[in-house]
């Protein structure tokens, strides 16, 4: 037992002595938090539009001004030339082109229906879908307005309506940052934890110091524990720090119990650090170790539900996700922090992490060989 304490002491000294690593461990996460929270958003703020109005009627102008009046839309260009508009799209200046064909108003009056064309830059498929939905709804809005304008009340009365009332729970203002902060905190703790632990043992291998330790009667479990605990403490501290920042800077809600958060976090970190140490025992150079950590990290992050929803993934991918520790912990963080879920609500996720931690640390101890 005492041996472990001395290993921990040594690891701490090494971390804190490294004047260049320290800021990276403690300062960089803050910067990342700030950047990530603001950058990682699918929320559309502005849509750049070009309008090709070939009708030039009062209706077409009304429709145009409807878009001009929307805070989402910025009309970059109005012209009579589709070619001009298209070249703007090719340059990347315009997201959507609306073309109002000549005879738009005439058809509306005579034939009772008319057409408008929308050309959406669909390279970003998801954004294109949203742009289309927004634009269509503005056009339909316009449609409703002219209905009210042109029809008499009796005709209107025949139309049945379903009034939808919408309410958003837990986050009525639809503040995206409160959703992202808990997930991003997980991300940061994971990156730091995985890289520190993943490079640790392999670094001793490269330096040759591991041999000196391997000729001592130290027990494998003591060695792994001594390596694990310092990073565990650092990562937990970082999580606490991140939560404080999240509260101060972004005012994230903390609905549930902080104890529950830290209890889950401590188990989760054992999984991540165990994973890092396992990689470390299986590689020979820091470069290798880093690449392998990076490889898994990217897959874990992308499939974690941090940016996109897990339910939308194909079934086989959801099954693969059962071994993704990030998916569990991000879910726990969001549920407890944002909705105040109780231990009973998250117990199945929690126990999954416990099993995971036991398995991965046993693997790391087993894989650590004192004899080559």
- Residues in 77-96 that interact with other proteins by CB under 8 A: 89-92
Q: Report the distance separating Cα 100 and Cα 80, nearest Å.
A: 10
Which of 64, 114, 280, 324 is in the footprint of other proteins by CB under 8 A? Answer: 114
The separation between CA 24 and the C-alpha centre of its own chain, rounded to angstroms, equals 22
Q: Report the distance separating Cα 343 and Cα 335, nearest Å.
A: 10
Residue 152 in the binding site for other proteins (CB under 8 A) = no
Residue 352 in the binding site for other proteins (CB under 8 A) = no
Q: Report the distance separating Cα 171 and Cα 85, nearest Å.
A: 40
Which of 33, 49, 50, 108 is in the footprint of other proteins by CB under 8 A? Answer: 108
Residue closer to other proteins, measured from CB, 101 or 358: 101
Other Cβ atoms less than 10 A from the Cβ of 300: the count is: 21
Q: What would the x/- binding string for other proteins be over residues 176 to 215, using CB under 8 A? A: x-xx-----------x---x---x---x--xxxxxxxxxx
- Which phi and psi angles does 100 have, rounded to 5°? -100, 115
How near is the Cβ of 117 to other proteins at its closest, in Å?
A: 5
Q: Report the distance separating Cα 221 and Cα 162, nearest Å.
A: 66
Which of 152, 153, 158, 248 is in the footprint of other proteins by CB under 8 A? Answer: 158
Which of 58, 71, 83, 113 is in the footprint of other proteins by CB under 8 A? Answer: 113
Which of 54, 233, 249, 290 is in the footprint of other proteins by CB under 8 A? Answer: 290
Residue 355 in the binding site for other proteins (CB under 8 A) = no
Residue closer to other proteins, measured from CB, 258 or 299: 299
Residue closer to other proteins, measured from CB, 79 or 90: 90
Q: Report the distance separating Cα 114 and Cα 296, nearest Å.
A: 53
Let me know: does 102 contact 76? Beta carbons within 8 Å.
Answer: no
Residue 225 in the binding site for other proteins (CB under 8 A) = no
Q: Report the distance separating Cα 67 and Cα 69, nearest Å.
A: 5
In the region spanning residues 115 to 134, those forming contacts with other proteins, defined by CB under 8 A, are 115-129, 132-133
Q: How many residues belong to the site for other proteins (CB under 8 A)? A: 137
3-class DSSP state for residue 269? helix
Residue 175 in the binding site for other proteins (CB under 8 A) = yes
Residue 251 in the binding site for other proteins (CB under 8 A) = no
Which of 65, 79, 81, 308 is in the footprint of other proteins by CB under 8 A? Answer: 308
Residue 257 in the binding site for other proteins (CB under 8 A) = no
In the region spanning residues 25 to 54, those forming contacts with other proteins, defined by CB under 8 A, are 28, 32, 35-36, 38-46, 48
Q: Report the distance separating Cα 327 and Cα 196, nearest Å.
A: 21
**Vertex 70, ends 119 and 87: CA angle to 5°?**
30
Long-range contacts of 83-89 (CB under 8 A, 24+ apart): 84/50, 85/50, 85/51, 85/52, 86/119, 88/50, 89/50, 89/119, 89/121
> CB under 8 A: which stretch of 2-10, 75-83, 263-271, 350-358 binds other proteins?
2-10
Residue 248 in the binding site for other proteins (CB under 8 A) = no
């Amino acid at each position: 037992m005492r041996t472990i304490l001395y290993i921990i002491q040594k690891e701490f000294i090494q971390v804190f002595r490294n004047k260049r690593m320290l800021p990276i461990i403690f300062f960089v996460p803050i910067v990342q938090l700030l950047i990530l929270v603001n950058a990682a958003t699918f929320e559309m703020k502005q849509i750049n539009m070009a309008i090709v109005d070939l009708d030039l009627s009062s209706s077409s102008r009304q429709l145009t001004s409807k878009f001009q009046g929307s805070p989402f839309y910025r009309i970059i260009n109005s012209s009579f030339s589709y070619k001009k508009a298209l070249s703007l799209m090719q340059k990347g200046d315009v997201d959507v082109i609306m073309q109002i064909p000549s005879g738009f108003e005439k058809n509306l009056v005579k034939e009772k229906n008319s057409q408008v064309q929308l050309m959406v830059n669909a390279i970003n498929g998801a954004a294109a879908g949203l742009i289309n939905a927004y634009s269509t709804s503005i056009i339909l809005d316009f449609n409703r307005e002219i209905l009210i304008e042109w029809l008499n009340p009796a005709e209107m009365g025949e139309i049945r309506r379903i009034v939808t009332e919408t309410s958003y729970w837990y986050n009525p203002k639809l503040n995206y940052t409160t959703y992202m902060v808990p997930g991003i905190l997980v991300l940061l703790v994971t990156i730091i934890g995985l890289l520190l632990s993943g490079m640790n043992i392999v670094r001793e291998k490269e330096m040759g110091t591991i041999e000196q330790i391997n000729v001592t009667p130290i027990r494998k479990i003591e060695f792994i524990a001594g390596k694990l605990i310092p990073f565990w403490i650092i990562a937990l501290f970082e999580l606490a720090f991140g939560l404080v920042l999240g509260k101060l800077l972004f005012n994230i809600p903390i609905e549930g119990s902080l104890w529950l958060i830290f209890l889950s976090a401590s188990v989760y970190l054992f999984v991540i650090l165990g994973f890092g140490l396992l990689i470390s025992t299986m590689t020979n150079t820091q470069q290798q170790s880093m690449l392998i950590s990076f490889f898994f990290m990217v897959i874990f992050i992308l499939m974690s539900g941090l940016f996109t929803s897990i339910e939308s993934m194909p079934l086989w991918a959801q099954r693969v996700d059962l071994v993704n520790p990030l998916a569990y912990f991000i879910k726990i963080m969001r549920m407890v922090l944002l909705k105040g879920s109780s231990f009973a609500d998250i117990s199945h996720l929690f126990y999954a992490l416990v099993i995971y931690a036991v398995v991965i640390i046993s693997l790391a101890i087993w894989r650590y060989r004192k004899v080559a």
